[in-house]
Amino acid sequence: MRKEKPLVIVATPNICWLHPEVAYPGNAVEIGEEAALCREAGAAVLHTHAEGQWKEVYDEVKKRSDIILQGGMSSIPLQERIELFELKYDMVSIIANHHAEAFKEVNCDVLHPLSELEEYAEACRKYGVKPEFEIWHTGSIWNLNQLIEKGLLDAPYITTLFFGWPGGTWSPATVEEYLYRRRLMPENCACTVTIMCEEQMDILAAAILNGDHVRVGTEDYPFNQQGKVCTTHELVQEIAADKGFTVHLFECGEGDHIHCFVSAPPKLSITAIVKYLKGITGRKLFERFPEIRNQLWKGELWNHSYYVETIGSVSEENIRHYIERQSKAY
């Protein structure tokens, strides 16, 4: 179930690794204009690739909107990105592990040792820039914890979890993988999720329901839910207008099952909704009451069965009355 806190949407408008034939804004003016459209559509952060024109992009973006500016190209060494710090970009992306990506026109294979991550953390404090750590797999989390334990980072820790990006740091784009990695993240993390494949909406919906944030744009995946190529601000609009499903009522019934009254857009399958509810409630309960794992068959909270019925001819009032009676009876 979605937490009552603002959804942060990160927009990525000025590159397209997976489909280089897709048009995207290239010069500073175009990036500034698209940034303003993204902000108007609901984005709070702009992740940009602007090597060779960092200052021009900074000026064009800042004069058009108050969107938070996040400098990308995180595979480049610190010494080659120092301009981002001197310009006082609001945030700087940092890869928290060895980085290997494989695209049609670009291949990347760069080692980012812990010593380099420490230098980045020190530079962020020196220049007053907030670091955003890219979490590609569980090894990234280990490195992040090292920086926290050494006192090099200030909470909240801004992170982005990557799924389905091709290359040596690939991880599966599944709700199960998202929930597993999310469970391992340290406390005081603000987590954003990015997916580079057609399963994007399933995982973004799960992230939103879990109280996390999302990243969309031509860099991540340039297609909307109908498979149409879109501009980044159009993708932002789609996410902002449809943030998942709503649980109106949630009560125990007969001691061994749950009654939920849910409304959802047609794009979300019933199977996906049930998976989100079971996965997220299970994670929250195990976090708060870890001892109950020992009392469950194979340590699992839910079995795989469920029953679904649409309202149809039954009124919403009768459905609510039936579910509310369950909590009084048990």
- On the 0-12 / 13-18 / 19+ scale of CB atoms within 10 A, 191 is buried
Q: Name the token pair of 147.
A: 């920086």
Q: Name the token pair of 282.
A: 């299970």
| SS3 letters across the chain | CCCCCCCCEEECCCCCCCCCCCCCCCCHHHHHHHHHHHHHHCCCEEEECCCCCHHHHHHHHHCCCCCEEEECCCCCCHHHCHHHHHCCCCEEEEECCCEEEECCCCEEEECCCHHHHHHHHHHHHHHCCEEEEEECCHHHHHHHHHHHHCCCCCCCEEEEEEECCCCCCCCCCCHHHHHHHHHHCCCCEEEEEEECCCCHHHHHHHHHHCCCEEEECCCCCCECCCCCECCHHHHHHHHHHCCCCEEEEEEEECCCEEEEEEECCCCCCHHHHHHHHHHHHHHHHHHHCHHHHHHCHHHCCCCCCCCCCCCCCCCHHHHHHHHHHHHHHC
Which of 127, 180, 306, 322 is catalytic? The answer is 322
State the Cα angle at 143 between 138 and 148, rounded to 5°: 120
- The length of the chain, given as a count of residues: 330
322 is catalytic: yes
Distance from the Cα of residue 309 to its chain's centroid:
31
Q: Determine the residue type at 41.
A: A
- Residues forming the active site: 322
